[in-house]
Structures are given as structure tokens and as C-alpha cells.
Structure 1
Amino acid sequence: MPRPGGRRLRLWSGAVTAALALCLTGTGQASAADVDNVRNGGFESGLSGWSCSAGSGTTVSSPAHSGSAALKATPDGLDNAECSQAVAVSPNATYTLSAWVQGGYTYLGATGTGTTDVSTWTPDTTGWTRLSTTFTTGSSTNSVTVYLHGWYGQAAYYADDVSLFGPDGGGGGDQGGQTAPAAPGGLGVTGTTSSSVSLSWNSVSDATSYNVYRDGTKVTGVSGTSATVTGLAASSSYSFQVTATNAAGESPKSAAVTGTTTSSGGNGGGNGAGLPKHAVTGYWQNFNNGAAVQKISDVPSQYDIIAVAFADATGTPGAVSFTLDSAGLNGYAVDQFKADIKAKQAAGKKVIISVGGETGTVSVSDSASATNFADSVHSLMQTYGFDGVDIDLENGLNATYMTQALRALSAKAGPSLIITMAPQTLDMQSTSSGYFQTALNVKDILTVVNTQYYNSGSMLGCDGKVYSQGTVDFLTALACIQLEGGLAPSQVGLGVPASTRGAGSGYVDPSVVNNALDCLAKATNCGSFTPSKTYPDLRGAMTWSTNWDATAGNAWSNAVGPHVHALP
């Protein structure tokens, strides 16, 4: 944990900038007489009709935008993973080129148009995004080359439902006269909770999927005619619309409906069963890195949640395992470890298993790995007696499938499950990030998000100003982003190092932590930043680690623990 690895900086040369200047973002609407001239645009026949540079392309079954297959192409070295197809077209005709993409940087374009060649692009995306551009062929143009490619050194990209709609060029494309579907009708609210609204609508002929919009912003895509939008604030009203999509494009939005969430009846969503209103979380090291070696029984009583670090990835995608480092922990026996967990629980504490850490490689990126994650974590809970799980994945996560995994785990473990998260500061700067979106998606079963406010440098606060780590303003102005972004105050905690040795940078004296808690909960002891309102239900604080705290004479927990528990 908490010491995040370096984030790669993307450096754009003048040549790249010039290339991007060629990108066009115009879109066109296909006419009733237009056909799709691309062959195998859904990659249901493998790479038939397509040519990919340096063997960079393959087809995969997941993720797929529609059907059972999609393209996956991986840049390598000086190869940008270009996959292309020569398409027959008619002269002096207007065409709309589109594709659904996700993953790394993705470019879509056409060359040999006889007029102006076109391209469009998108940066990294965690969900399917439609790229589209238009062009007009020259007076003697009978063929163009359409292409997709990634960018050098970046992640693999995925593409599906590539189409080129316009007059039939005689090349035998896939879709015949298909056009974008009509807007869905019958949209209505079928249920609400304090953090979700359930919707349903009528099916649309020729639609392959549907997009759900909340207050004008797309929040999810589904294949059926119902969806539940989660991560909402209690007692709040939202406007919803739905569109239908197919390979030809997306329909207009449906008529809007309003959904109003119910009252939370307390501190907001999330599970805090058995925990005090204000809680302290500490990570316990299952390894010896120079900090004091501890048994679970050695952890001071000021800690309400003890996160055992870490569960590790296995050879099965998404699955995790845990092995007590008895040798590194001076002969700590497994049976004693289990007994110590039970003793802590008898004293009202929660002991959970943390997944990830700085070098963790757990990846939950499809439905199968989500199931493996839930099954393996639940197995560890049964084996060792853990109360739940902590998500400390510092190399990114997929919000769709981590949400699926946590909901599956919740179904297995029941309502007493504890779920905590420890994202880096960068992961909680925007509600569109994978981590933040996951937290909002599982808000109704989430206990607390303890963001790591260290190893960060300078970051934006909720007021748009830049704050430097190691200050009360950094803690309060960044926590404000989550408090205003949809999490309940009871689901927000301040993560800090227990000592100067606990992190590479960002250590603050415990008095600064206490001032930040006071500022957020009571609007006292603030720095230059003062929140617009108080959050008396703020959950508390977290530290890495109980071992580094012990090395420093438990100075952190002795100061911060009583202060947290004395908050209003």
C-alpha cells in the first residue's frame, strides 16, 4: 500500500500535436437509402476483411459492444496497432464512418477519399464510446481505406460495430439499409431506494443496446430494457432519459422522467454495522519491512477497523489468496492469527482483508474474473474470519466489473459485510474515474473510502484551487470533492501515514489530521480553505500502518484515535 507507483506522463511532441490537429469530430446522419459498406464490422467472423499491422490484432469475446466478438489491438514498440480495411464506395458521395471503442488511445479514420482524409480519436476510456466522422468522396474515388489504431506505448484498445454508412459502393457490406433506431418510448420509474432509481422502457426494433442518461450525462449502457442507476444521494430528484443504439448509430433521447430517491434515515448509505459513528482504520502488515512486527492482538484498541495487508493475485483471473507470513512475523501461527481476529471482533472491532497494494496485480476486468474475485474473497472470509474486504488497487480498476464483484460478494456475505477502499488522491479527483464511480455504484453497501492523502504532490481541491500535500487545506479541500460528489459523510475518511517512514511524502503531524477533522465536521481549526457546510457524520481517519505507528510509539493512534471518537 499506500505508496503509489509512478504515474506515466504522456509527452506529446509537436508532430503528435500536428497529427491531432487533423482530427475531425463532425457527425452525420445516415439517410434511409444508405447502407453499411464495411465488411465484418462487428468482428463476428474474426479478422476476416481486416488487416492488422505487426500481428497486433485479435478478436475477443469480452468486452463486446454487441454480438459475441470485438477487436483487441495492442501497440508494441514502434507499432501503433493499426487495423484497416479497403471499402468500396461511390464517387461524389457523403459517408459517415463510426465505431464503438474503449481502452487505450483510439483513432478512427479514412484515407484515399479523393478529397480530405479524416480522422477522430479519444483518450483512454473505461466504457464503450462512439467515434464518428464524415467525408465526401472525390469524382473518381471507388475505394477508401478505413482504419483504427492506438498510440505508441499505450494500452490495448478495443473496437466493435465499425460502419461506413452511405451509398452502396458494391462491396458487399454487412448491414444493408439499416439506420439508427428510433427513440425508446414508455420510459418509467419502477422503484427507488435511498441511493438508486430503477427504470424500464419499451423495446425498440433494430436496437442492439440502450444508453441511460442522468441529468443529460450517460451513466450506463445495457442490452435489455431495464436498468438501475446507483450511487445517488438520498432524498434527491434526478432526470432520466434513454437512447437506443445499433451499428448505424444512436437514437434521439427519449422523453425525460423524474426519479426521486427515498430518505436515507440516518448517516446515508453504506454498511457500518457494529462500528462506532466515527472510526479509525489501520493497515496491519503481513510482512516485515523494518517496521515493528505485530500480532493482530498487538494492534491498539484505538483502531476500529484493521485491514490485513495484503491478499495476492493467483493464476486465476480476478481470484486472490492469502498466506500468513509466519516466518517473517517471528513465527506467528495461523491458529493464533485466527484466534486474535476473533478476540478483536469480540471487542467490537472489524478485521478485513485488503486486496492490492502498491505492487498488487489483481485485475477484475470481465464477468468471469468478477465472479472469481467474489468467490475467493468470500472463501478467505470463511477461512480466517475476516469481516469484509478493502480495495487498495493502485494500478486502476474497472468500475463495471468491480461493482459486479462487490455486489456478488455482498450477496454471499450478507448485510454485515464491511467494504472499504483506499484510492490514491488522483483516483478521487473526478466522479468519472473508475475508483470514484465504483464507490458511487456500491454506495448502498459501502462502509468507507479512506483516500490516501500522501505521495501525491499538489492536487486540485473542490474549489478549483491547487493545494500542496502535507497541509490541513490539502486534506480538507480534497475530501470536499468526495463529500460534494455523492458519497455520504459517513463514507469519507482521511488517509495519512503514521510516521515519516510510512510514506515517501505527505506525512503530517497528528495535530494537522485532527485540525482537518475539526474543519470538516465543525468548521473549526481550518486553514485557508473552509468548506461551504459542515459534515458532522464524517467517518474518521486511516493510517498506513499500525506497524509504523508502533515503531513511533503509537503516537499517531494515541493522538488521532481519541480525537476521532470524540467528534460530534
Structure 2
Amino acid sequence: MSTPRRKLRTRVWAGAAVAALALSLSTAVEASAADINNAKNAGFESGLSNWTCSANSGTSVTTPVHGGTAALRAAPSGQDNARCTQTVAVRPSSTYSLSAWVQGGFAYLGATGTGTTDVSTWTPDSTAWKQLSTTFTTGASTTSVTLYTHGWYGQQPYFVDDVSVFGPDGGGGTDPGPTIPTAPTGLAASGTTSTSVNLAWNTVSGATGYAIYRDGTRITAVTGTSATVTGLTASTSYSFQVTATNAAGESPRSTAVAVTTPATGGGGGGTVPKHAVTGYWQNFNNGATVQKLSDVPAAYDIIAVSFADATATPGAVTFNLDTVGLNGYTVDQFKADVAAKKAAGKKVVISIGGELGTITVNNSTSATNFANSVYALMQQYGFDGVDIDLENGLNATYMTQALRSLSALAGPSLVLTMAPQTIDMQSTSNSYFQTALNVKDILTVVNMQYYNSGTMLGCDGKVYAQGTIDFLTALACIQLENGLAPSQVGLGVPASTRAAGGGYVAPSVVTAALDCLTKGTSCGTFKPARTYPDLRGAMTWSTNWDATSGNAWSNVVGPHVDALP
């Protein structure tokens, strides 16, 4: 008998940490010719000169570096968050652009003593250099401010390089000015679909940003060394180049890379509808309505059977129907119901993980075991594919290998869904996001859990609270603008207030969020810069909790998803 489990999460520390910050994010103002970088030893080339780090938490290192030959490494420990500060001379009643490049664990950048509104910005852990930036205005009598960086309690060390307090000369001296960077090298394209392509290139010393050119026209600017270009046309040839930029100017263009988009886009799923509703079906009794698979309403296009169980073989899974907990539901009845759902045009997948799921895929052997065992369950029960709902960590390298192997076994009809937590999709550097992008060509949909997470950052850099339309739309925007196709993004929400610890929104809020993202209507405070009419749809935990509420969720959301453009 399976152990009763609920899809609940109690880890809201990331949201709480965000809520504790008074973030002030804005676009840097254009500097005048007389403006300078007022920070000293901004690249840590002189060790920690001009810097003070709490509890001896900081040190100058030679790798990784963003520019020059050194960077700051600061390690939080115990009750110390590795705060490093510098007092900078500034001019009263003046506006300054504050920025720094960060990498590693959670990293924060801010300024205090401004005489007006102190500012702060942050980013979750990142495996690549990322630029933090904000602006502040000094008070009428302010002649110095304290800039700072810090990490977060219990998190990994963070790295900082190329700090800048750019604005009017405060009279305190400065580091030498930048020179125009050299052209980027190593430009390469990957993951090409009918509408998008992933570009990556080598870091250029001294660069603070990069510009991307398509067929000779500048189309966008980024701060990192990779980008996903969207809006391409199928069966079309393109030429891409990249330049490096900083305050001194723009480099020559890189060597061009040619890309030809295929006739059809990537993504798996066989005959999954353009817009689909996903529901998790509980193979256990936790107080919600006990269902047979045949009881699941027709509004659900994809049914995720929850959950598979770990075995003694690393990476391998099995499925044990909870016949006792499901009031005598037999394996033969279950198999017949799976077949009936499929005959009705529905997809039934086996979900791996859940709150208490501990399946580990961390080497080639366990990846092979995972693929073989999931495929065996597909053959035994008739499942159409697999849902990845690992809430206790995921290794991107070997989960990618496992899913590729499963795809090779199952063929193009494989339905592959995912249900990461909100923190897992805050950045493309996170393992879950990396995995989704790695298997984009076979991925059906990512139904991120927009609940049990407190507050999180949206794609506009602002903080949003769960349980609101803005939380759904601004966080979905992160996935939509960072590599996933709209058809691979769904909104995962609880079916009722009892289905999750927090983050419930009424079905009407879900439909409004769908309209905002697909049509640009019914938005809250956040409105996306463009619409995504191919958005896949919505997901709920669970069909059982939905039934407990008289199917109030699927009765509203189901028809609305079907009517999307």
C-alpha cells in the first residue's frame, strides 16, 4: 500500500527572504560626460582594499572573475550573511547608477545613507555572472553613501566583481576608466526550433553587456553570455552576431553564425490539445474525495497519476495501486480506466516525486534505470508518458540523460510534463529550468506550482505575493521569456483552499490570468509586454480536491481553456 502523501510544501524561506527586502528596481539613467565610477578597487584587483567584510567572510580570488584578474568571494556562516561594504564619496542632490556582477549563492547589492530612499536589489543563486543594478538619488546634504553586498544565511558563498557607483564625481577618486572591449568569440547556436534559437558565446573581459544582431540589425541586449532569440519564422535562414559593450562603447561584431529554422517546432506530446487542462489524480486517501480514474471529469486533458514509488535499484521506480485506500479499486479496473481515458482522447501519465518522493537520478546508471523502469510502467499500465514532480532536488545532467533515453524508447508520442516549485523556475541557472530547456524538443508542458511559496520575483524584477493574478502572470513571464515555448507553459494552482498550504486563487482568477497572458486582457498590476496565444493552459492539485469542492475548479477553468485562441 502506498504511503498517503499530499502535494504540500512548507519551505517558504525564499519568499520570506524576499519579503524582508525593500527592493527598489529601476532603469539606470543615462550618464553625462563628466560622470565617473566613484567606487574604489571596484574589481578587487587590490584585494579587499577599501572594502570591509563582516566576520572575515570576504577574500579576493582569481577565479571565477568577470573582468580583470580578481573578484570578491564572500561566504555566509551561521548568523553572518557575509556583508561587505565600502563608503563612497558622492555629490549632494545627484543621481547615481549602482551595479555589480554577481555569481554563486544568493547575492544582494544596495546602498544606505543616501539621504533619500535607500535601495537594494538581489538575485537567487546563479552559475553564471549576472549583473545587478539599481539607482539612487542623494539628499541635499549627503556627501557619502555606504554601498554593500551580502549573501543569505545558510546559503552558498557568492562572488562579486566590477562594482560601479556611476554618476557625478564625488571628489573621492576613482579607478581607471574602461576601454572598449574586444569582439566576442565562440558564438554558437543550439536548440533551434521553428520559432526560436539558443545563442551562447565566450565572456569578454571588461564587458558589462552584449548586443545581439540578426541579419545585421540589432535586436536585443543582454548582460550574460547566452540568450534565446524568439519570434523566428519556420523554414527560414538567419545570420546572428554578437558585440560586447561597456561604458566606453561597443566592440566590433563577432564572427557570424548561420541558423535555419525547421519546418515545425519542438515539443513532445503527440496529440495533446493545443490548450490543455492537467489534473493530478491521487493514488491515496488524504481526506479528499476518493476517486477511480473513471471518475475524473472530461474537462481534464492530461491526468497525472500520483505517484510512482522508489525501489531498491538506484533511479528505478514502480507503481503500487493503493487498493485498500481507494476502497477496493483493483489493478485490472485501473488498467481498464486508463485505456478508456485514452480512447476518449485523454493522456494519462505517471507522476514521479511529490512532496515526499525521493527518487534520485545522479549518474548514468541511475538515469538508465529510471528510463527503463518508467517505460516498463508505460507498457504495463498503458501510461502515455511521465510527469517530473521532484520537489527534493534534481540533477539536470542526469535527468536530461534519463528523459532522452525514455524518449528513445517511447518514441515521438511520449507525453512529458513537469511540475516544479516556484523557486525552481526563478532563474535559468536552476537545475529544473536547465532540465526543461535541455529537453525542450520533447517537452509537452511545465505546470509550475504557483503556491506554497510566499513571495517571489516576477520577470520585471518586482516582488509578487502568491494568491494574486500578478503572481501567476509575472512568474509565468519568466518561463515565457527565457526559452520555453508558450505551448510548454501552464499555470499550476490548488483546486481548493484545502489542497495547499497557501497560494489558492479562485477559478475566476485563473481564467483572468489566462486571458492576460494569451490576449492581454483582464490583467492585474502586471501586464506582459506581449501576448502568448499558444499558452498551453492550466493544472491543478488535484482532481480529488476538485471533486471535494463539487468540481468547481474544472467546471470553470476547463471550458475557459478550451475557448482560448
Q: In the alignment, which residue of structure 1 is the partner of 2:330?
A: 333
CA distance in 1, matches of 2:500, 2:266: 31
The amino acid across from 1:530 in the alignment is: K
CA distance in 2, matches of 1:319, 1:125: 30
Q: In the alignment, which residue of structure 1 is the partner of 2:401?
A: 404
Change (3 A) 1:527 1:502: same
Shift of 1:18: 2.8
CA distance in 2, matches of 1:346, 1:363: 33
Q: In the alignment, which residue of structure 2 is the partner of 1:435?
A: 432
Q: In the alignment, which residue of structure 2 is the partner of 1:446?
A: 443
Shift of 1:273: 1.9
Q: In the alignment, which residue of structure 2 is the partner of 1:457?
A: 454
Change (3 A) 1:191 1:533: closer
Mapped contact 1:230–1:443 kept (Cα < 8 A): no
Q: Which runs of 4+ in 1 moved over 2 A?
A: 7-11, 16-22, 25-29, 102-105, 123-127, 151-156, 185-199, 214-219, 229-241, 254-257
The amino acid across from 1:561 in the alignment is: G
Question: Which structure 2 residues correspond to residues 214-363 of structure 1 after superposition, within 5 A?
Answer: 235=233, 256-263=255-262, 265=264, 268-363=265-360
Mapped contact 2:10–2:501 kept (Cα < 8 A): no
Change (3 A) 1:230 1:522: closer
Question: Does 1:3 find its partner at 2:20?
Answer: no
CA distance in 2, matches of 1:356, 1:439: 16
Post-superposition CA distance 1:183-207 (Å, at most 9, x none): xx999879965466799xxxxxxxx
Q: TM-score, normalised by structure 1?
A: 0.62
Change (3 A) 1:548 1:429: same
Mapped contact 2:275–2:562 kept (Cα < 8 A): yes
The amino acid across from 2:488 in the alignment is: Q
Shift of 1:460: 1.2
Change (3 A) 1:496 1:188: closer
Q: TM-score, normalised by structure 2?
A: 0.63
Mapped contact 1:126–1:434 kept (Cα < 8 A): no
CA distance in 2, matches of 1:239, 1:369: 40
Change (3 A) 1:370 1:7: farther
CA distance in 2, matches of 1:366, 1:240: 36
Mapped contact 2:187–2:199 kept (Cα < 8 A): no
Change (3 A) 1:395 1:27: closer
Mapped contact 1:355–1:393 kept (Cα < 8 A): yes
Q: In the alignment, which residue of structure 1 is the partner of 2:376?
A: 379
Q: Look up the SS of the partner of 2:540 in the other structure.
A: strand
Q: Look up the SS of the partner of 1:23 in the other structure.
A: strand
The amino acid across from 2:390 in the alignment is: L
CA distance in 2, matches of 1:186, 1:558: 52
Q: In the alignment, which residue of structure 1 is the partner of 2:508?
A: 511
Shift of 1:334: 0.3
Question: Does 1:367 find its partner at 2:372?
Answer: no
The amino acid across from 1:18 in the alignment is: S
Change (3 A) 1:343 1:240: farther
Change (3 A) 1:348 1:290: same
- Picking from 59, 79, 82, the partner of 1:23 is 59
Q: How much identity, in percent, do the aligned residues show?
A: 69
Shift of 1:372: 1.2
CA distance in 2, matches of 1:542, 1:436: 18
Mapped contact 2:452–2:503 kept (Cα < 8 A): yes
CA distance in 1, matches of 2:274, 2:257: 33
CA distance in 2, matches of 1:369, 1:262: 34
The amino acid across from 2:62 in the alignment is: G
The amino acid across from 1:425 in the alignment is: T
The amino acid across from 2:338 in the alignment is: I
Change (3 A) 1:230 1:468: closer
CA distance in 1, matches of 2:560, 2:455: 27
Q: In the alignment, which residue of structure 1 is the partner of 2:543?
A: 546
Mapped contact 2:314–2:360 kept (Cα < 8 A): yes
Question: Which structure 2 residues correspond to residues 470-485 of structure 1 after superposition, within 5 A?
Answer: 470-485=467-482
Mapped contact 1:279–1:305 kept (Cα < 8 A): yes
Mapped contact 1:240–1:259 kept (Cα < 8 A): no
Q: How many positions carry a matched residue from both structures?
A: 401
Mapped contact 1:270–1:445 kept (Cα < 8 A): yes
CA distance in 1, matches of 2:271, 2:505: 30
Change (3 A) 1:501 1:260: same
CA distance in 1, matches of 2:461, 2:199: 33
Mapped contact 2:307–2:350 kept (Cα < 8 A): yes
Change (3 A) 1:270 1:230: farther
Note the aligned Cα RMSD (angstroms): 4.2
Mapped contact 1:239–1:259 kept (Cα < 8 A): no
CA distance in 2, matches of 1:304, 1:28: 47
